[in-house]
Structure 1
Amino acid sequence: MIVILEKEVYQLKKRGRRVGADGEKSRQTLLEISATQFAIHGFYKTKISDIVKEANVTQPTFYLYFKSKEAVFQELVDIFKEKLYHLVAQSKLPADIAEEGLMERIAYGLCAVFELFQQNEEVARIGFVVSEEAVNIKEQMTAQLERNLKEEAELGYFHTNINFGVVAAAMVGAIEYLAITKLWTGTHTPEELAEEMTYLFLQGLKK
């Protein structure tokens, strides 16, 4: 389910619809169906006529909430980015974690990201894979993770002589690949993937 953010409610008010009434529900439905259509067919093959047919509304209703197909696509990408960047920023380790609780805390942060990908699969596919912004989104995520790791190293959690840019890029690549091949195929849960990634990056392959 796609959650309508405060800025979206503000847009509803600007367009003259009563927030909390059928207008908000229609907009939410259009967002969710658009996400599914874009994820399945891609941007160029998705048609507004197919979106409104699936939503059981008219094209004028669609244009009441969105200026164009590009506008609804961009909004979906923006929703995903905002949620993802927030989770990555929140995953930074605080200064008071005991050594025995370190792996659990890291796994908790990773699990939240995988849960975002699971609960918003269509939007995640758009933002992380399909859209032209996908590369930039992953670069921004990598940069935030690198900042997190450097600050965490300064707190004494990790070695300081590590190229954290490489580590962060490897983590983002692993998250993307595991989401596509394990999470979205239903073979692994967010918890399982988070635990495996945490163990690999902290303990490595050494016996």
Structure 2
Amino acid sequence: MAHDLADFLGDVGPLVFYLAVWGLVFAGTALFVGVFIPFITGDSLLFGAGILTGTNPELSIWVLAIGVGVAAVLGDQVGFWLGRRLGRPYLTRRGGRWVQAGVKRAERFYELFGWWSVVISRYIPWGRVFIPPIAGISAMSYWRFLSANIVGALSWGVLITVIGYFAAVDPGVRPVAYIVAGVVILASLVAGIRAWVLDRRARRTLPE
């Protein structure tokens, strides 16, 4: 990913590079692109962009990271608005069986974690796409969603981008940066597994 981004930057320059990264982050949730290409709109993109910023003096990590955070917030807000405006049919029309399985999993995740599901889902590829419209469909209040969205989107967008930057610029910090990145990924896996376990337990308690 970092090599591809470097080639792209050499062709288009810093401004278009920023806009492309921000646009992919926004489209990942607002336009459902993250369902089909999660690695190009998620953690790998941010980490690679951070690494490239650390090796290119024309780029600013603060411009990149803050822009990523804003794009992530706006993308989730669009997903939330579409869910509230169009209702459950908006998700029903989204694709085949595997997409609908992801929708059902996200619905259960939202039921289990509520406000925290919006925060945690930012670190889970399928969650960051499905949770915002599900929160809108479930009539979560606008300000409640916005607060969770800001916490999740900014922590995810800024954190992973900055980790990639420090992995490139400081050899002494590089091992720590990779460890933190690993912890973030592991936390995403744990959150998904915990949701699956709680869902299985809840299903067992349902009457036959």
TM-score by length of 1: 0.41
Question: Bigger relative contact order, structure 1 or 2, given CA contacts below 8 A and separation 6+?
Answer: 2
Question: Over alpha carbons, which structure has the higher Rg?
Answer: 1
TM-score by length of 2: 0.40
- Which one has a larger percent helix, Structure 1 or Structure 2? 2
